[in-house]
Amino acid sequence: MKIDLAVLDRQFKLHQTEYEEAALRVLRSGWYILGPELEAFEKEFADYVGAKHCIGVASGLDALTLAVRALGIGTGDEVIVPANTYIATVLAVTENGAKPVFLEPDEYYNLDAEKLENAITSKTKAVMAVHLYGQAADMENIIKIAEKHGLPVIEDCAQSHGAHNGTVMTGHCGTIGCFSFYPTKNLGAFGDAGAVVTDRDDIAETIVKLRNYGSKIKYHNELAGVNSRLDELQAALLRVKLRHLPELIAERKTIAKEYLEGIKNSKLTLPKTREDAEHVYHQFVVRAKDRDGLQKYLENNDIHTVIHYPIPPHLAECYQSLGYKEGDYPIAEEYAKEVLSLPMFNGMKAEEVKYVVDVLNDY
């Protein structure tokens, strides 16, 4: 039995007619950029998250980059980021000329709130929390510390669509929430897409301008903006998937439950969920001391896995100029050497889940 990490067309086939009708509706409308589908999706997604504003942009990276820019963060400023995040989180900081300050993760793979206060300096202008793998970070304590120092909190929600921290949905806990709708995400589009959510009118207005060449009124360029717009086709398709997101999340939780209850191999460390946090399992990540051996073993049994992520950002080649070296963030580096993402996707069959469990238990 061959099992891929993700098989995207199965989720499409679950609601194929609805997707096709939405796509044709847009194609026949003759309106493809900044139209009624985007306006409708922005309202529906804002309502879903519980935020006042949603602004659709071209990608999750653009969402993060424009969020940093909208806060006026630039050269000489610092932004605190997790040391084990995906590179996009950090790129959004450096793209604006600011410096990333890395912080070790906790046992749930998210920014360790207990270490946050010691990382804050006079140059710190924001804290960027990432809800990695689909589990909500410790937002209550992160926000408490950030507010004590008068700092905004940017949430990287690229992997946490629909996850709650307590009763509040990720993206609505901090100052700004940034989402990616890359096809593999729980709320994935059929191409690149992203969005920013916020309750602040000033931030929303700034991002509306920034995403469209710096203008709110055509040819009236108030800011030096960019071209980053969520197009009508992707908005229409996302509206379909958003209607089904609760059931899609429930399915992923069922798969995760079968993994958690079925995998009994002591060589593996299974993911844990923090009290008061929700995990929507964008990825199901295990750890193993001989991770590379485990991955090869699974590959030999036709089970495809991926490492999220093998190189911490502070050790990335593109950030050599920052002067970090191996050993600077030992927890993040240990995770990078041990984490492995198992197959997890909507439409995954019960026999496929069982096969993964059985193979892992024989490892």
| CA distance linking residue 45 with residue 235, whole number of Å | 10
Strand partners, 57: 194
Based on the domain organization, do 232 and 274 belong to the same domain? no
CA distance 238 to 272: 30
How many angstroms separate the CA atoms of 55 and 41, rounded? 9
Distance of alpha carbon 139 from alpha carbon 358, whole angstroms: 36
pLDDT at 37: 98
Q: Name the DSSP letter for residue 169.
A: E
What confidence score (pLDDT) does residue 100 get?
98
Same domain, 116 and 161: yes
Is 294 in the same domain as 335? yes
Contacts of 195 (CB under 8 A, 6+ apart): 42, 45, 54, 55, 56, 57, 63, 178, 179, 181, 230
The pLDDT assigned to 32 comes to: 98
Low-confidence stretches of the chain (pLDDT < 70) are none
Residue 2 within any structural domain of the chain? no
pLDDT digits (tens, 9 = 90+) for 66-117: 999 999 999 999 999 999 999 999 999 999 999 999 999 999 999 999 999 9
pTM for the model stands at: 0.97
> Is 355 in a helix, a strand, or coil?
helix
DSSP letters of 52-120?
SEEEEES-HHHHHHHHHHHTT--TT-EEEEETTS-HHHHHHHHTTT-EEEEE-B-TTSSB-GGGHHHH-
Q: What is the CATH number of the domain that holds 90?
A: 3.40.640.10
What is the structure's pLDDT at 327?
A: 98
Is residue 155 within 8 A of residue 141, CB to CB? The reply is: no
- Residue 233 and residue 250 in one domain: no
Token representation of residue 10: 């199965």
- The predicted structure's pLDDT at residue 91: 98
Q: Are residues 60 and 199 in the same domain?
A: yes
Would 41 be classed as within a structural domain? yes
* Whether residue 150 sits in one domain with residue 58: yes
* Residues with Cβ within 8 Å of residue 218, at least 6 apart in sequence: none
pLDDT given at position 120? 98
Whether 95 and 119 share a structural domain? yes
Amino acid found at 70: A
How many domains, in total, are found in the chain?
A: 2
Nearest residue to 239 (alpha-carbon basis) of 46, 14, 10: 46
- The reply to whether 83 and 225 lie within a common domain is yes
Q: Please, are residues 160 and 282 in contact by the beta-carbon 8 Å criterion?
A: yes
Q: Decide if 119 is inside a domain.
A: yes
Range of the domain at 156: 8-103+110-239
Q: Nearest-CA neighbor of 59 among 171, 162, 189, 176?
A: 189
Question: Do 71 and 203 touch, CB atoms closer than 8 A?
Answer: yes
Q: Are residues 187 and 301 both part of a single domain?
A: no
Answer for the pair 18, 170: CB distance below 8 angstroms, yes or no.
no
